[in-house]
Amino acid sequence: MLSNTAVADGGKRKSLHGHWSSKMAFILAVTGSAVGLGNVWKFPYVAGENGGGAFVLVYLACVILIGLPVMMSEILLGRRGRRNPVATMALLGEEEGSSRQWRWLGVLGVVAGILILSYYSVIAGWTLYYIVQSAGGAFQNATAADVGAVFDNFVGSWQAVLLCHTLFMALTVFVVARGVERGLEQAVRFMVPALLTLMVVLLGYAITSGSFAEGLAFMFTPDFSKLTWDSVLAAMGQAFFTLSIGMGAIMAYGAYLPEETSITGASGAVVTADTSIAILAGLVIFPLVFANGLNPGEGPGLVFQTLPLALGQMPAGAFFSTLFFVLLSFAAWTSALGLMEPAVAWLVEHHERTRAQAAVIIGGLIWFLGIGSVLSFNALSDFTFLNGTIFDNVDFLTSNVMLPLGGLIIAVFAGWIMCRNSSADELGGAGSLYKLWRVLTRYVAPVGILFVLLKAVGLLPDLS
């Protein structure tokens, strides 16, 4: 087992896995981890289901008041400990005069990351299939029945879904195995700018080919009559989950952050980039939906059934449909790297495995667990319990229980257990920004997250 007490010159710990080469590398990595299917796939349809503009306003408020302070907290814990999330929390718990039992927060994050990626990889695999179908012209001038048949035939074949799941996991293992600078950093330096470029190109297409004014009005004209308490909780949950908080990824990436980098500045840049991409996704998708007379509140099928239908009716639709699913696959891939990293770092540190060995072992475990989600859409679609299929249950457990619970405990530890000197040291002093972070972390964020958690598990009465 590797020592948890190695320190660099000046008494500061150093990561056993290397460091990001620059602040920009860290911002790209965390942005890549945060930006995923939640931004491009989930945000538009959740906004559509909850009335558009009013939901967006509440979402932005929740990002600033809850998402940002919790992200800062998770990064500062990661950099303070400089280890995988399990070792970091055990070490910090002991240092702050509490207990090594705080390591279970790290365990929660590592396990959540593994479980999330087990089904996330399955959905991400769909994007690879849709790239091939779009490039082959499958959606060009297709009817709704044609598009629906493509989707149904694909997810109905466990062999095809398993193949795409396998391919996506192989791509993820390849990058993670190469390490922090040669793997993670090189990948995000290419993929995040490429994702942003593709998004801007698609935005231009939406402006010229869709009902852009109608989409813009839907996104930014608040209709508070459509805003219910359930909508507010949905906005709070979306703001929380889209930033990848509570799953160990941000803590693991924070462990590689250079000492001189401002956590406040880096967190602000990540939150700005992540939120901008979610808004951009809406501005790309809603004009195309309105231009074709489709329903913006279509739900999860918005991206995989409604959007191919819309793009297929437009000039150069095959090209732009392919471009969209390439973008979606990049977003999923960068998130998958962050989900896998905490478990790989833990295996390297605690079981003296090489990084390549750890990546293959963890990747193989995730791939195997994902088979349950693969079969949930076909062979085992009739096998239901508690909240539905295997896929439904893993999704519910992680998204609605494990992540908010992890985020809540992170806020409690950073705000209440960690002493002022420790947190101020990591956040660069005790000025007004630090005091604001402390108030939000100690009071506002925990209350907001607790509401999401209680609502998810059915302990909050109907407030509508």
pLDDT recorded at residue 378: 96
- Segment 272-286 mean pLDDT: 88
352 or 69: whose pLDDT is higher? 69
In three state form, how does the secondary structure of 225-273 look? HHCCHHHHHHHHHHHHHHCCCCCCHHHHHHCCCCCCCCHHHHHHHHHHH
Average confidence (pLDDT) over 354-368: 97
| Closest by Cα among 40, 34, 365, 333 to 168 | 333
Cβ contact 112:402 at 8 Å: yes
pLDDT > 50? residue 376: yes
The total of other beta-carbon atoms located within 10 Å of residue 281's CB is: 27
pLDDT at position 11 over 70: no
* Domain range list for the chain: 15-456
Q: Compute the distance between CA of residue 231 and CA of residue 234 in angstroms, rounded to an integer.
A: 5
> Does the pLDDT of residue 297 top 80, yes or no?
no
pLDDT averaged over every residue in the chain: 88
Higher-pLDDT residue of 109, 307: 109
Q: What is the pLDDT of residue 168?
A: 97
In this predicted structure, what is the pLDDT of residue 268? Answer: 93
pLDDT given at position 83:
93
How far apart, in whole angstroms, are the C-alpha atoms of residue 238 and residue 38?
8
- Answer whether residue 10 shows pLDDT above 50: no
- Residue 2 has what pLDDT? 35
Q: What is the mean pLDDT of residues 400-415?
A: 93
Check residue 5 and give its pLDDT.
Answer: 40
Task: Give the pLDDT confidence score for residue 462 in this predicted structure.
Answer: 67
Are 122 and 161 in contact by the 8 Å Cβ rule? The answer is yes
pLDDT band at residue 117, thresholds of 50, 70 and 90?
Answer: very high
Query: Between helices 68-81 and 445-456, what is the axis angle to 10°?
Result: 100
Whether residue 463 has pLDDT greater than 70: no
CA 161, 163, 167, 173 torsion-angle sign: positive
When mean pLDDT is compared across 74-78, 213-217, 345-349, the lowest value belongs to 213-217
At the topology level, CATH places domain 15-456 in Hydantoin permease (1.10.4160)
